[in-house]
């Protein structure tokens, strides 16, 4: 791609470093900004810079927060003995959205993935183990994605806290509510039969 | 979408105002920036702001340029009597990329579109008419997209310069090189038959 302006080229190249944004899309976005009032661009730049500079993470669960302790951890009505372990803050948002969970979270910040060079020390695992050791936690729910990396991470944490004697669980895997059985993948369908739940219990949800 | 941080929310909302970027994508992009070193974000913000503040347009063809006259208009080896009219700078880049055009461009900055509130006065049309009146232009090539708006714009300009007696042409429409006839749309296929070219001429390309 040949640019008629170095300024334009630099803006496009920076934009194209974002994941999933190719050079063509970056050019389209930048040309859109050029057609908008200058304030549009300065608002965007300012919002990004301020966020990156001033963002804080909850000292307890590592969720993104504007306060030292996030709103969930600071809420006395949440069940602080029930900790849901998730990969990143999008998972917190998704679970909060269901309105079905009254416990607190622990955000790992990723999954153990040797291929991507992510080891246990780069994740917020030690603070979770510490929290368990201090007492007060009764159950850990693993809510990572069911991939090789997710399973590895679950197992790594499980080994560290196994002798504390607290309950550990993982979120249920099965056929999505409303899905047709014939279109489900076999692993999910198989697991949903092996891990079937008593009928009376299914009526509650 | 409920955010645990106002800073995060603001950054996501600004990002989501870009065309084709929804809230979910915006969140993914912003979380990516959070995982990268702070410089990544400040480089991006700076590049966008500097570009938006300092960008210039060629005084002759309205292409984006870092100089008062763009490199194409300033090049004495280009055929200045041959002017290709395009919608925006992406079209200039696409045509330059072919290496087949030795004339100069005129960037309109859009198409006449009453629905979107774009009239002739918002486009760089008067400067093109002026250029033709001043003399020196021998042929105008219309290279707008073949939509209702493109055709309207072509015709509007054509009427303004018709009595100057210069040549006007549009880029050829037809079956893409390498495409199978059976998959072509009928309008294109029909036009490619009506506007067939002498065989000897087709050998040149």
Rounded to a whole number, what is the distance in Å from the CA of B81 to chain A's nearest CA?
Answer: 21
**What does the pLDDT read at residue B53?**
93
Give the list of residues 6+ apart from residue B42 with CB closer than 8 angstroms, or none.
A49, A52
When computed from its CA atoms, the radius of gyration of chain A, rounded to whole angstroms, is 22
Low-confidence ranges of chain B (pLDDT < 50): none
Q: β-strands B103-107, B167-170: how paired? A: unpaired
**What does the pLDDT read at residue B113?**
94
Instruction: Give the pair of three-digit tokens for residue A8.
Output: 């334009």
Q: Which candidate from A10, A20, A52 shows the least CB-CB separation from B34?
A: A52
What's the ipTM? 0.83
Chain A partners within 8 Å of B62 (Cβ):
none
**What does the pLDDT read at residue B205?**
52
Among residues A149, A201, A145, A200, the alpha carbon closest in space to that of A173 is found at A145
Number of inter-chain CB pairs under 8 A, A vs B? 169
Instruction: Give the pair of three-digit tokens for residue A54.
Output: 């001033």
Mutation target vs B (from A52, A64, A65, A97; most B CBs, 10 A cutoff): A52
Write out residues 67-86 of A within 8 Å (CB-CB) of B: 70-72
Residue pLDDT, tens place only, A67-91: 899 999 999 999 999 999 999 999 9
DSSP for B40-64, written as a single string: HHHHHHHHHHHHHHH-EE-TTT--E
Greater confidence (A192 vs B105) lies with B105
B44/A48 Cβ within 8 A: yes
Residue pLDDT, tens place only, A16-71: 999 999 999 999 999 999 989 999 999 999 999 999 999 999 999 999 999 899 99
Rounded to a whole number, what is the distance in Å from the CA of B150 to chain A's nearest CA?
Answer: 19
Q: Which candidate from A38, A56, A65 shows the least CB-CB separation from B52?
A: A38
Q: Which residue has the tokens 């007060």?
A: A136
Domains by residue range for chain B, with CATH: 6-54 (1.10.8.420), 77-171 (3.40.1360.10)
Q: Which residue has the tokens 């294109």?
A: B188
Give the residue from chain A lying closest to B70, CA to CA: A4
Question: CA-to-CA distance for B201 and A75, rounded, in angstroms?
Answer: 78
Rounded to a whole number, what is the distance in Å from the CA of A160 to chain B's nearest CA?
Answer: 26
Contacts by residues B8-11 (CB-CB < 8 Å, ≥ 24 positions apart): B8/A51, B8/A55, B8/A64, B10/A47, B10/A50, B10/A51, B11/A47, B11/A48, B11/A50, B11/A51
Q: Which residue has the tokens 């040949």?
A: A2
Question: CA-to-CA distance for A168 and B190, rounded, in angstroms?
Answer: 68
Whole-Å CA distances, B202 to A37, B97, B142: 46, 21, 21
A11/B47 Cβ within 8 A: yes
Residue pLDDT, tens place only, A100-157: 899 999 999 999 999 989 999 999 999 999 999 998 899 999 999 888 999 999 999 9
B6/A66 Cβ within 8 A: yes
Greater confidence (A180 vs A161) lies with A161
Handedness of CA A179, A149, A95, B29 (dihedral sign): negative
HEC letters along chain A = CCCCCHHHHHHHHHHCCCCCCCHHHHHHHHHHHHHCCHHHHHHHHHHHHHHHHHCEECCCCCCEECCCCCCCCCCCCCEEEEEEEECCHHHHHHHHHHCCCCEEEEECCCCCEHHHCECHHHCCCHHHHHHHHCCCCCEEEECCCCCHHHHHHHHHHHHHHHHHCCEEEECCCCCCCCCCHHHCCHHHHHHHHHCCCCHHHHCCC
**What does the pLDDT read at residue B204?**
64
Q: Which candidate from B18, B46, B53 shows the least CB-CB separation from A32?
A: B18
**What does the pLDDT read at residue A205?**
52
B116 in reach of chain A (CB within 8 A): no
B13/A93 Cβ within 8 A: no
B123 in reach of chain A (CB within 8 A): no
**What does the pLDDT read at residue B29?**
96
């Amino acid at each position: 791609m040949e640019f008629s302006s170095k300024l334009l080229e630099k803006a496009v190249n920076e934009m194209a470093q974002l994941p999933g944004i190719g050079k063509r899309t970056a050019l389209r976005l930048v040309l859109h900004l050029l057609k908008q009032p200058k304030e549009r661009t300065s608002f965007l730049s300012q919002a990004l810079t301020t966020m990156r500079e001033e963002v804080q993470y909850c000292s307890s669960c590592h969720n993104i927060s504007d306060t030292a302790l996030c709103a969930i951890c600071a809420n006395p009505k949440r069940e602080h003995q029930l900790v849901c372990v998730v990969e990143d803050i999008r998972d917190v948002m998704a679970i909060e959205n269901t309105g079905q969970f009254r416990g607190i979270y622990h955000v790992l910040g990723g999954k153990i993935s040797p291929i991507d060079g992510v080891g246990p020390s780069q994740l917020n695992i030690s603070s979770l183990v510490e929290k368990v050791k201090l007492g007060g936690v009764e159950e850990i729910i693993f809510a990572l994605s069911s991939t090789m990396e997710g399973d590895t991470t679950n197992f790594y944490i499980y080994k560290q806290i196994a002798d504390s004697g607290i309950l550990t669980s993982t979120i249920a895997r099965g056929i999505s509510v409303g899905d047709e059985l014939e279109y489900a993948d076999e692993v999910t369908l198989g697991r949903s039969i092996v891990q079937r739940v008593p009928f009376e219990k299914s009526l509650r949800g």
